[in-house]
Every structure is written in C-alpha cells, then in structure tokens.
Structure 1
Amino acid sequence: MTQEIEVLSEVTGTVWKVLATQGQRLAEGDTIAIIESMKMEIPVESPFAGTIRKLLVSEGQAVAEGAVLAVIERD
C-alpha cells in the first residue's frame, strides 16, 4: 500500500529557493525548498526517504504556516 505524506511549512514566509523537482527521489533529510521568513532562511527537509509526487510551490510564492509544500510517497 502506498503511503503519501504532506510536507508542511513550519513558518509563514516566501519560498526563496526550490531545490527538488516532482518525481525526484529523496533521502531522509534532503532539502526540498528554502523559505525566507523574517530575514532567516529555513530549509524544508524530507522527513523520510521517498519520491516527490506533487510539488505545490514555486520560487517567490508566499506561504502560510501549515501550507502544504509537497506530497511525498514513502519508500
């Protein structure tokens, strides 16, 4: 059975950089994107190994705390 997990933003801010692509395989801890909030750069990391099934943000996009950034299918 496939398990898909949503990766959420921990802060309100702007997507500064997107480092992953849809379909990309990730190891646990790989950086998916970097969010800029209050002049700080906060990495959004994969919570486990898997494949990005949906990448829902782009660079320059504003995001709220709790917003879904990506959906990862767990290995």
Structure 2
Amino acid sequence: MSELKASMAGSVWKILVKQGDAVTEGQDVVILESMKMEIPIAAESNGTVSSVKVSENDFVNEGDVLVTVE
C-alpha cells in the first residue's frame, strides 16, 4: 500500500478519484491549491484507491496523507 502525501501546505481544490477507482502510475488523483497555483498529486504506482483521506476545500499541511493506493 502506498500513501500519497501533500507536497506542500494548501487547500484541496479537486479530488479526481474515489474509493475503488483503478489508477495508473503518474495519474493525477488530487489537485492542491496554494498561493493561487495548482499542484497536482499523482499516483506513484498502478493500483486501486483504498481510501480518500481528505475532502475538497480541506486545508492540508506538507506530509499529510491524501489518498491511499493498494
């Protein structure tokens, strides 16, 4: 299982996946917004989304887990 974490502090602008979705390596799963920039967070490997730990508009800190992939 891999945990996709926030690369910087910001707001969750858009969640592109839901639990049970298949993802491929490099596929964007969450987009953060920080200082008016959009920061995509991509899957690190192929797998299935086992959980989404955040909701849109949540504020996250660097290192917070956003999505887990099995």
Q: Per the shorter chain, which TM-score range? A: over 0.9
- 2: CA distance, partners of 1:58 / 1:43: 15
User: How far apart are the structure 2 equivalents of 1:52 and 1:46?
Assistant: 10
What is residue 36 of structure 1 aligned with on the other side? 33
Identity %: 43
Alignment equivalent of 1:49, drawn from 28, 46, 51:
46
The residue identity in structure 2 corresponding to 1:36 is: E
- TM-score for the superposition, normalised by structure 2: 0.97
Equivalent of 2:15, from 10, 18, 37?
18
Aligned partner of 1:27 in structure 2 is 24
Gaps of 5+ in 1: none
- Once the two structures are TM-superposed, the CA of residue 62 in structure 1 deviates from its matched residue by 0.3
**Divergent runs of 4+, >4 A:** none
* Aligned length, in residue pairs: 70
Q: CA RMSD in A?
A: 0.5
Q: Greater CA radius of gyration, 1 or 2?
A: 1
Q: Distance in 2 between matches of 1:7 and 1:17?
A: 15
